[in-house]
Protein backbone atom coordinates (compact mmCIF):
# COMPACT_ATOMS: atom_id res chain seq x y z
CA UNK A 1 0.00 0.00 0.00
CA UNK A 2 1.51 3.31 -1.12
CA UNK A 3 -0.01 5.96 1.12
CA UNK A 4 1.58 8.98 2.71
CA UNK A 5 1.14 9.09 6.46
CA UNK A 6 0.58 11.64 9.19
CA UNK A 7 4.25 11.46 10.08
CA UNK A 8 5.10 12.50 6.52
CA UNK A 9 2.87 15.54 6.89
CA UNK A 10 4.27 16.42 10.30
CA UNK A 11 7.81 16.20 8.93
CA UNK A 12 6.91 18.85 6.35
CA UNK A 13 5.66 21.14 9.11
CA UNK A 14 2.05 22.04 9.90
CA UNK A 15 2.47 24.96 12.28
CA UNK A 16 0.02 27.66 11.28
CA UNK A 17 -1.47 25.52 8.51
CA UNK A 18 -5.12 24.46 8.41
CA UNK A 19 -5.44 20.67 8.47
CA UNK A 20 -8.83 19.18 7.63
CA UNK A 21 -9.30 15.86 9.45
CA UNK A 22 -12.05 13.40 8.49
CA UNK A 23 -12.83 11.54 11.71
CA UNK A 24 -15.43 8.92 12.54
CA UNK A 25 -17.21 10.40 15.55
CA UNK A 26 -20.40 8.43 14.92
CA UNK A 27 -20.94 7.63 18.58
CA UNK A 28 -24.15 6.27 20.14
CA UNK A 29 -26.30 8.83 21.97
CA UNK A 30 -28.90 8.16 24.65
CA UNK A 31 -32.27 8.90 23.04
CA UNK A 32 -33.64 10.45 26.22
CA UNK A 33 -30.73 12.54 27.46
CA UNK A 34 -28.66 13.00 24.28
CA UNK A 35 -25.56 11.94 26.23
CA UNK A 36 -22.80 9.86 24.64
CA UNK A 37 -23.03 6.24 25.80
CA UNK A 38 -19.74 5.01 24.27
CA UNK A 39 -16.89 7.40 23.43
CA UNK A 40 -14.63 4.73 21.93
CA UNK A 41 -14.57 6.29 18.47
CA UNK A 42 -13.69 9.69 19.91
CA UNK A 43 -10.78 8.20 21.82
CA UNK A 44 -9.59 6.39 18.71
CA UNK A 45 -8.84 9.63 16.84
CA UNK A 46 -7.00 11.31 19.74
CA UNK A 47 -3.48 10.21 18.68
CA UNK A 48 -3.88 11.94 15.31
CA UNK A 49 -5.54 15.07 16.67
CA UNK A 50 -3.10 15.33 19.57
CA UNK A 51 -0.10 15.16 17.24
CA UNK A 52 -1.50 17.91 15.02
CA UNK A 53 -2.33 20.15 17.98
CA UNK A 54 1.14 19.67 19.45
CA UNK A 55 2.67 20.56 16.07
CA UNK A 56 0.74 23.85 15.99
CA UNK A 57 -1.76 23.07 13.23
CA UNK A 58 -5.16 24.71 12.98
CA UNK A 59 -7.21 21.53 13.13
CA UNK A 60 -10.62 21.38 11.43
CA UNK A 61 -12.44 18.13 12.21
CA UNK A 62 -15.41 16.87 10.21
CA UNK A 63 -17.54 13.76 10.76
CA UNK A 64 -20.98 12.25 10.32
CA UNK A 65 -23.30 11.00 13.04
CA UNK A 66 -26.26 8.72 12.37
CA UNK A 67 -28.22 8.84 9.13
CA UNK A 68 -29.96 12.19 8.72
CA UNK A 69 -31.62 12.75 5.35
CA UNK A 70 -29.37 15.47 3.95
CA UNK A 71 -30.87 18.28 6.05
CA UNK A 72 -30.20 19.49 9.62
CA UNK A 73 -31.75 17.29 12.30
CA UNK A 74 -31.10 18.24 15.97
CA UNK A 75 -31.10 14.62 17.17
CA UNK A 76 -27.99 13.99 15.06
CA UNK A 77 -26.05 17.10 16.04
CA UNK A 78 -22.35 16.71 16.81
CA UNK A 79 -22.51 19.37 19.54
CA UNK A 80 -22.30 16.79 22.40
CA UNK A 81 -19.28 15.26 20.65
CA UNK A 82 -17.49 18.62 20.61
CA UNK A 83 -17.85 18.79 24.37
CA UNK A 84 -16.53 15.30 24.98
CA UNK A 85 -13.69 15.73 22.48
CA UNK A 86 -12.64 18.89 24.31
CA UNK A 87 -12.61 17.03 27.63
CA UNK A 88 -10.40 14.29 26.20
CA UNK A 89 -8.03 16.72 24.48
CA UNK A 90 -7.86 18.92 27.55
CA UNK A 91 -8.70 22.02 25.54
CA UNK A 92 -11.79 23.73 24.17
CA UNK A 93 -13.08 22.47 20.83
CA UNK A 94 -14.77 25.25 18.87
CA UNK A 95 -18.05 24.08 17.39
CA UNK A 96 -19.48 25.29 14.09
CA UNK A 97 -23.27 25.24 13.94
CA UNK A 98 -23.19 24.30 10.25
CA UNK A 99 -20.87 22.33 7.97
CA UNK A 100 -19.81 24.70 5.20
CA UNK A 101 -21.91 27.79 5.94
CA UNK A 102 -21.27 31.09 7.69
CA UNK A 103 -20.72 29.55 11.13
CA UNK A 104 -18.17 27.08 9.73
CA UNK A 105 -16.30 29.81 7.84
CA UNK A 106 -16.10 32.18 10.80
CA UNK A 107 -15.13 29.37 13.20
CA UNK A 108 -12.31 28.15 10.97
CA UNK A 109 -11.09 31.68 10.25
CA UNK A 110 -10.84 32.41 13.99
CA UNK A 111 -8.71 29.38 14.83
CA UNK A 112 -5.32 30.03 16.37
CA UNK A 113 -2.34 27.70 16.00
CA UNK A 114 -2.90 24.49 17.98
CA UNK A 115 -6.66 24.98 18.27
CA UNK A 116 -9.39 22.56 17.15
CA UNK A 117 -12.76 23.15 15.52
CA UNK A 118 -15.50 20.59 14.85
CA UNK A 119 -17.91 21.18 11.98
CA UNK A 120 -21.55 20.16 12.26
CA UNK A 121 -22.69 16.78 10.89
CA UNK A 122 -21.53 16.23 7.30
CA UNK A 123 -24.73 14.40 6.47
CA UNK A 124 -26.79 17.52 7.12
CA UNK A 125 -25.67 18.32 3.56
CA UNK A 126 -27.08 16.20 0.73
CA UNK A 127 -23.82 16.51 -1.21
CA UNK A 128 -21.95 14.34 1.30
CA UNK A 129 -23.69 11.09 0.34
CA UNK A 130 -24.93 12.01 -3.15
CA UNK A 131 -24.43 9.50 -5.94
CA UNK A 132 -24.25 12.40 -8.40
CA UNK A 133 -20.56 13.17 -8.97
CA UNK A 134 -21.18 16.86 -9.62
CA UNK A 135 -23.25 17.40 -6.47
CA UNK A 136 -20.79 15.46 -4.35
CA UNK A 137 -17.87 17.31 -5.92
CA UNK A 138 -19.41 20.72 -5.25
CA UNK A 139 -19.73 19.85 -1.56
CA UNK A 140 -16.16 18.54 -1.54
CA UNK A 141 -14.97 21.88 -2.96
CA UNK A 142 -16.58 23.69 -0.04
CA UNK A 143 -15.04 21.34 2.52
CA UNK A 144 -11.59 21.44 0.93
CA UNK A 145 -11.61 25.24 1.21
CA UNK A 146 -11.16 24.78 4.98
CA UNK A 147 -7.83 22.98 4.68
CA UNK A 148 -4.31 23.28 3.37
CA UNK A 149 -3.92 19.52 3.84
CA UNK A 150 -6.25 16.60 4.48
CA UNK A 151 -5.96 13.70 6.94
CA UNK A 152 -8.32 10.75 6.73
CA UNK A 153 -8.59 9.07 10.11
CA UNK A 154 -12.13 7.73 9.69
CA UNK A 155 -11.62 4.05 9.02
CA UNK A 156 -15.28 3.39 9.77
CA UNK A 157 -16.20 5.40 6.67
CA UNK A 158 -13.52 4.40 4.13
CA UNK A 159 -15.88 1.93 2.45
CA UNK A 160 -18.21 4.82 1.51
CA UNK A 161 -17.85 6.82 -1.70
CA UNK A 162 -18.76 10.04 0.08
CA UNK A 163 -17.54 13.58 -0.55
CA UNK A 164 -15.45 13.86 2.62
CA UNK A 165 -13.91 10.43 2.11
CA UNK A 166 -13.46 10.07 -1.64
CA UNK A 167 -13.58 13.52 -3.26
CA UNK A 168 -11.76 15.79 -0.80
CA UNK A 169 -8.43 13.89 -1.10
CA UNK A 170 -8.41 14.74 -4.81
CA UNK A 171 -8.47 18.43 -3.89
CA UNK A 172 -5.83 18.61 -1.14
CA UNK A 173 -2.46 17.08 -0.23
CA UNK A 174 -3.61 14.01 1.69
CA UNK A 175 -2.33 11.46 4.18
CA UNK A 176 -3.65 8.60 6.30
CA UNK A 177 -4.09 9.27 9.99
CA UNK A 178 -2.69 6.98 12.65
CA UNK A 179 -5.96 5.12 13.17
CA UNK A 180 -6.49 4.35 9.48
CA UNK A 181 -2.88 3.23 9.13
CA UNK A 182 -3.15 0.93 12.15
CA UNK A 183 -6.44 -0.57 10.92
CA UNK A 184 -5.02 -1.38 7.49
CA UNK A 185 -1.83 -2.83 8.96
CA UNK A 186 -3.82 -5.12 11.27
CA UNK A 187 -6.37 -6.28 8.70
CA UNK A 188 -3.67 -6.92 6.11
CA UNK A 189 -2.28 -9.57 8.47
CA UNK A 190 -5.59 -11.40 8.22
CA UNK A 191 -5.67 -11.29 4.42
CA UNK A 192 -2.01 -12.21 3.98
CA UNK A 193 -0.57 -15.27 5.69
CA UNK A 194 -2.10 -15.38 9.19
CA UNK A 195 -0.60 -17.58 11.88
CA UNK A 196 -2.53 -20.85 12.16
CA UNK A 197 -4.86 -22.16 13.36
CA UNK A 198 -6.92 -19.21 12.09
CA UNK A 199 -10.39 -19.09 13.68
CA UNK A 200 -13.15 -16.64 12.74
CA UNK A 201 -16.21 -15.99 14.91
CA UNK A 202 -19.21 -14.44 13.18
CA UNK A 203 -22.48 -13.36 14.75
CA UNK A 204 -25.07 -10.68 14.26
CA UNK A 205 -28.52 -10.74 12.77
CA UNK A 206 -28.45 -11.72 9.12
CA UNK A 207 -26.59 -14.20 6.96
CA UNK A 208 -27.13 -11.90 3.99
CA UNK A 209 -25.04 -9.19 5.70
CA UNK A 210 -22.12 -11.58 6.17
CA UNK A 211 -22.44 -13.82 3.09
CA UNK A 212 -19.68 -12.11 1.11
CA UNK A 213 -17.18 -12.29 3.97
CA UNK A 214 -18.09 -15.93 4.66
CA UNK A 215 -17.46 -16.74 1.00
CA UNK A 216 -14.12 -14.91 1.11
CA UNK A 217 -12.93 -16.37 4.42
CA UNK A 218 -14.06 -19.97 4.14
CA UNK A 219 -11.10 -21.08 1.99
CA UNK A 220 -8.65 -19.29 4.30
CA UNK A 221 -9.78 -20.21 7.82
CA UNK A 222 -9.36 -23.38 9.85
CA UNK A 223 -12.63 -22.96 11.78
CA UNK A 224 -15.64 -20.68 11.33
CA UNK A 225 -17.83 -20.36 14.43
CA UNK A 226 -21.32 -18.99 13.80
CA UNK A 227 -23.66 -17.59 16.44
CA UNK A 228 -26.08 -14.72 16.79
CA UNK A 229 -29.37 -14.43 14.94
CA UNK A 230 -27.74 -15.62 11.74
CA UNK A 231 -27.15 -19.09 13.19
CA UNK A 232 -30.86 -19.93 12.95
CA UNK A 233 -30.84 -19.79 9.17
CA UNK A 234 -27.93 -22.26 9.22
CA UNK A 235 -29.79 -24.46 11.71
CA UNK A 236 -32.88 -24.37 9.49
CA UNK A 237 -30.67 -25.52 6.62
CA UNK A 238 -29.80 -28.57 8.72
CA UNK A 239 -33.50 -29.35 9.07
CA UNK A 240 -34.09 -28.04 12.59
CA UNK A 241 -37.19 -26.22 13.80
CA UNK A 242 -36.19 -22.65 14.79
CA UNK A 243 -39.52 -21.41 16.17
CA UNK A 244 -40.02 -17.66 15.81
CA UNK A 245 -36.28 -16.99 15.78
CA UNK A 246 -34.80 -14.66 13.21
CA UNK A 247 -34.81 -16.50 9.89
CA UNK A 248 -33.91 -15.55 6.32
CA UNK A 249 -35.90 -18.17 4.46
CA UNK A 250 -34.40 -17.13 1.11
CA UNK A 251 -30.90 -17.85 2.48
CA UNK A 252 -31.56 -21.40 3.70
CA UNK A 253 -30.38 -23.09 0.52
CA UNK A 254 -27.29 -20.85 0.43
CA UNK A 255 -26.45 -21.87 3.99
CA UNK A 256 -26.93 -25.52 3.11
CA UNK A 257 -24.50 -25.17 0.20
CA UNK A 258 -21.95 -23.37 2.37
CA UNK A 259 -22.02 -26.17 4.92
CA UNK A 260 -21.70 -28.85 2.27
CA UNK A 261 -18.53 -27.34 0.83
CA UNK A 262 -17.05 -26.08 4.09
CA UNK A 263 -15.07 -29.29 4.74
CA UNK A 264 -16.51 -29.29 8.27
CA UNK A 265 -14.94 -25.90 9.03
CA UNK A 266 -18.29 -24.38 10.05
CA UNK A 267 -19.20 -24.88 13.71
CA UNK A 268 -22.79 -24.13 14.76
CA UNK A 269 -24.48 -23.93 18.19
CA UNK A 270 -25.58 -27.14 19.85
CA UNK A 271 -27.82 -25.36 22.37
CA UNK A 272 -29.55 -21.98 22.46
CA UNK A 273 -31.40 -19.77 24.92
CA UNK A 274 -35.05 -19.39 23.90
CA UNK A 275 -37.63 -17.00 25.29
CA UNK A 276 -41.37 -16.41 25.10
CA UNK A 277 -40.80 -12.94 23.64
CA UNK A 278 -38.13 -10.46 22.58
CA UNK A 279 -37.94 -8.77 25.98
CA UNK A 280 -35.47 -8.73 28.90
CA UNK A 281 -38.07 -9.99 31.37
CA UNK A 282 -39.50 -12.73 29.14
CA UNK A 283 -39.47 -16.29 30.57
CA UNK A 284 -36.54 -18.16 29.04
CA UNK A 285 -34.52 -21.35 29.26
CA UNK A 286 -31.87 -23.32 27.40
CA UNK A 287 -32.70 -26.05 24.90
CA UNK A 288 -30.83 -28.25 22.46
CA UNK A 289 -30.97 -27.05 18.85
CA UNK A 290 -33.06 -30.09 17.94
CA UNK A 291 -35.66 -29.09 20.51
CA UNK A 292 -36.50 -25.44 19.84
CA UNK A 293 -40.23 -24.96 20.55
CA UNK A 294 -42.27 -23.73 17.61
CA UNK A 295 -43.54 -20.57 19.33
CA UNK A 296 -40.36 -19.46 21.12
CA UNK A 297 -37.57 -17.17 19.92
CA UNK A 298 -33.84 -17.88 20.15
CA UNK A 299 -31.95 -14.93 21.67
CA UNK A 300 -28.54 -16.33 22.61
CA UNK A 301 -26.25 -19.31 22.26
CA UNK A 302 -26.28 -21.74 25.18
CA UNK A 303 -23.57 -22.66 27.71
CA UNK A 304 -22.59 -25.90 25.96
CA UNK A 305 -22.04 -23.96 22.74
CA UNK A 306 -19.95 -21.37 24.60
CA UNK A 307 -17.79 -24.17 25.97
CA UNK A 308 -17.41 -25.71 22.52
CA UNK A 309 -16.53 -22.39 20.92
CA UNK A 310 -14.04 -21.67 23.72
CA UNK A 311 -12.35 -25.01 23.10
CA UNK A 312 -12.05 -24.23 19.38
CA UNK A 313 -10.56 -20.83 20.21
CA UNK A 314 -8.11 -22.05 22.83
CA UNK A 315 -5.48 -23.35 20.42
CA UNK A 316 -5.90 -20.63 17.80
CA UNK A 317 -3.03 -18.35 16.82
CA UNK A 318 -5.15 -15.85 14.88
CA UNK A 319 -8.75 -14.89 15.74
CA UNK A 320 -11.14 -12.49 14.02
CA UNK A 321 -14.49 -11.80 15.69
CA UNK A 322 -17.38 -9.84 14.19
CA UNK A 323 -20.93 -9.88 15.55
CA UNK A 324 -22.45 -10.68 18.97
CA UNK A 325 -23.61 -14.17 19.86
CA UNK A 326 -26.98 -12.99 21.16
CA UNK A 327 -28.99 -9.97 22.23
CA UNK A 328 -26.23 -8.79 24.57
CA UNK A 329 -28.04 -5.51 25.32
CA UNK A 330 -30.48 -7.57 27.44
CA UNK A 331 -28.74 -9.05 30.49
CA UNK A 332 -30.40 -12.51 30.35
CA UNK A 333 -29.13 -12.97 26.78
CA UNK A 334 -25.62 -11.56 27.14
CA UNK A 335 -23.92 -14.68 28.51
CA UNK A 336 -23.05 -16.12 25.11
CA UNK A 337 -21.36 -12.97 23.86
CA UNK A 338 -19.55 -12.51 27.16
CA UNK A 339 -18.36 -16.11 27.24
CA UNK A 340 -17.00 -16.07 23.70
CA UNK A 341 -15.42 -12.65 24.18
CA UNK A 342 -13.68 -13.82 27.35
CA UNK A 343 -12.41 -16.92 25.56
CA UNK A 344 -10.98 -14.74 22.80
CA UNK A 345 -9.38 -12.40 25.34
CA UNK A 346 -7.76 -15.29 27.22
CA UNK A 347 -6.32 -16.94 24.12
CA UNK A 348 -2.68 -16.64 23.12
CA UNK A 349 -3.72 -15.68 19.59
CA UNK A 350 -3.40 -12.43 17.68
CA UNK A 351 -6.96 -11.21 18.16
CA UNK A 352 -8.96 -8.70 16.14
CA UNK A 353 -12.44 -7.49 17.10
CA UNK A 354 -14.13 -6.36 13.89
CA UNK A 355 -15.83 -3.20 15.07
CA UNK A 356 -19.56 -2.47 15.07
CA UNK A 357 -21.66 -4.32 17.64
CA UNK A 358 -18.70 -6.50 18.64
CA UNK A 359 -16.69 -3.49 19.77
CA UNK A 360 -19.76 -2.10 21.51
CA UNK A 361 -20.26 -5.40 23.32
CA UNK A 362 -16.70 -5.35 24.66
CA UNK A 363 -17.38 -1.97 26.25
CA UNK A 364 -20.98 -2.53 27.33
CA UNK A 365 -20.05 -5.80 29.05
CA UNK A 366 -17.16 -4.10 30.84
CA UNK A 367 -14.44 -6.29 29.34
CA UNK A 368 -10.81 -5.21 29.39
CA UNK A 369 -10.13 -3.69 25.97
CA UNK A 370 -6.38 -4.15 26.39
CA UNK A 371 -6.82 -7.94 26.45
CA UNK A 372 -7.66 -7.86 22.73
CA UNK A 373 -4.97 -7.34 20.11
CA UNK A 374 -6.98 -4.80 18.14
CA UNK A 375 -10.53 -3.46 18.31
CA UNK A 376 -11.52 -2.05 14.95
CA UNK A 377 -13.60 1.13 14.68
CA UNK A 378 -15.16 0.02 11.40
CA UNK A 379 -17.54 -2.94 11.31
CA UNK A 380 -18.61 -2.63 7.68
CA UNK A 381 -15.23 -1.36 6.55
CA UNK A 382 -13.35 -4.22 8.20
CA UNK A 383 -15.65 -6.81 6.63
CA UNK A 384 -15.33 -5.29 3.16
CA UNK A 385 -11.55 -5.18 3.55
CA UNK A 386 -11.52 -8.89 4.39
CA UNK A 387 -13.80 -9.56 1.41
CA UNK A 388 -11.06 -8.09 -0.78
CA UNK A 389 -13.15 -5.15 -1.96
CA UNK A 390 -11.61 -1.87 -3.05
CA UNK A 391 -12.43 0.67 -0.35
CA UNK A 392 -13.05 4.11 -1.91
CA UNK A 393 -11.44 6.02 0.96
CA UNK A 394 -8.26 3.94 0.82
CA UNK A 395 -8.12 4.13 -2.98
CA UNK A 396 -8.42 7.93 -2.76
CA UNK A 397 -5.45 8.09 -0.37
CA UNK A 398 -3.34 5.94 -2.68
CA UNK A 399 -3.74 8.37 -5.60
Task: List all residues 6 or more positions away from 131 whose beta carbon is below 8 Å from its beta carbon.
Answer: none
Same domain, 171 and 296: no
Same domain, 174 and 239: no
Query: How many other β-carbons are positioned within 10 Å of the β-carbon of residue 294?
Result: 8
Is residue 156 situated within a structural domain? yes
Same domain, 80 and 223: no
Angle in degrees, CA 213, 216, 217, rounded to 5: 85
- Return the half-sphere exposure (C-beta side, CA atoms, 13 A cut-off) of residue 335: 18
Last residue of a domain, one of 148, 180, 212: 180
Same domain, 204 and 239: yes
Task: List all residues 6 or more positions away from 266 whose beta carbon is below 8 Å from its beta carbon.
Answer: 218, 224, 226, 234, 258, 259
Do the annotations mark residue 229 as ligand-binding?
no
Do the annotations mark residue 66 as ligand-binding?
yes
Helix (H, G, I), strand (E, B) or coil at 153: strand
For the chain, the domain total comes to 2
**d(Cα 91, Cα 83) in Å, to the nearest integer?**
10
Same domain, 343 and 307: yes
Do the annotations mark residue 41 as ligand-binding?
yes
Is residue 395 situated within a structural domain? no
Is residue 394 situated within a structural domain? no
Is residue 144 situated within a structural domain? yes
Task: List all residues 6 or more positions away from 220 whose beta carbon is below 8 Å from its beta carbon.
Answer: 194, 198
Do the annotations mark residue 210 as ligand-binding?
yes
**d(Cα 130, Cα 125) in Å, to the nearest integer?**
9
As annotated, the active-site residues are 41, 206, 356, 380
Which residues span the domain enclosing 41?
6-180
Is residue 235 situated within a structural domain? yes
Last residue of a domain, one of 153, 180, 207: 180
Same domain, 267 and 155: no
Last residue of a domain, one of 159, 180, 201: 180
Do the annotations mark residue 123 as ligand-binding?
yes
Do the annotations mark residue 393 as ligand-binding?
no
Is residue 186 situated within a structural domain? no
Is residue 45 situated within a structural domain? yes
Do the annotations mark residue 54 as ligand-binding?
no
**d(Cα 79, Cα 63) in Å, to the nearest integer?**
12
**pLDDT of the chain, 399 residues: tens digit per residue:** 589 999 999 999 999 999 999 999 999 888 888 899 889 899 999 999 999 999 999 999 999 999 999 999 999 999 999 999 999 999 999 999 999 999 999 999 999 999 999 999 999 999 999 999 999 999 999 999 999 999 999 999 999 999 999 999 999 999 999 999 999 999 999 988 999 999 999 998 889 989 989 999 999 999 999 999 999 999 999 999 999 999 999 999 999 999 998 889 999 999 999 999 999 999 999 999 999 999 999 999 999 999 999 999 999 999 999 999 999 999 999 999 999 999 999 999 999 998 778 888 888 888 888 899 999 988 889 999 998 899 999 999 998
Q: Supply the DSSP string of 18-87, one letter for each residue.
A: EEEEEE-----B-TTT--BS--HHHHHTHHHHHHHHHTT-EEEEE---S---SS--GGG-SHHHHHHHHH
Is residue 348 situated within a structural domain? yes
Same domain, 214 and 329: yes
Same domain, 253 and 331: yes
Same domain, 214 and 359: yes
- Sign of the alpha-carbon torsion through 69, 59, 172, 11: negative
- For position 210, which CATH number holds? 3.40.50.1260
Do the annotations mark residue 25 as ligand-binding?
yes
pLDDT at 1: 57
Phi-psi region of 290 (alpha: psi -120 to 50; beta: other; left: phi over 0): alpha
Same domain, 171 and 243: no
Do the annotations mark residue 137 as ligand-binding?
no
Do the annotations mark residue 24 as ligand-binding?
yes
Same domain, 155 and 20: yes
pLDDT at 364: 85
Same domain, 282 and 141: no
Amino acid sequence: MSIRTLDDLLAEGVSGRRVLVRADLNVPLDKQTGEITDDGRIRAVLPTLGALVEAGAKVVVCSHLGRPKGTPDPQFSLRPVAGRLGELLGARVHFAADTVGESARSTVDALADGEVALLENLRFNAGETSKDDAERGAFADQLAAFGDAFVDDAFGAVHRKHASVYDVPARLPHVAGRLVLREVEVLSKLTGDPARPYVVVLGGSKVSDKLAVIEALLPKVDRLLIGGGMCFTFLKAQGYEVGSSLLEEEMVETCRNLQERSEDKIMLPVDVVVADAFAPDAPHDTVRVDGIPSKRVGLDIGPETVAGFAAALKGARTIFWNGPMGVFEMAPFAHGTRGVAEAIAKSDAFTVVGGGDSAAAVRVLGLDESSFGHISTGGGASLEYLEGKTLPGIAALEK
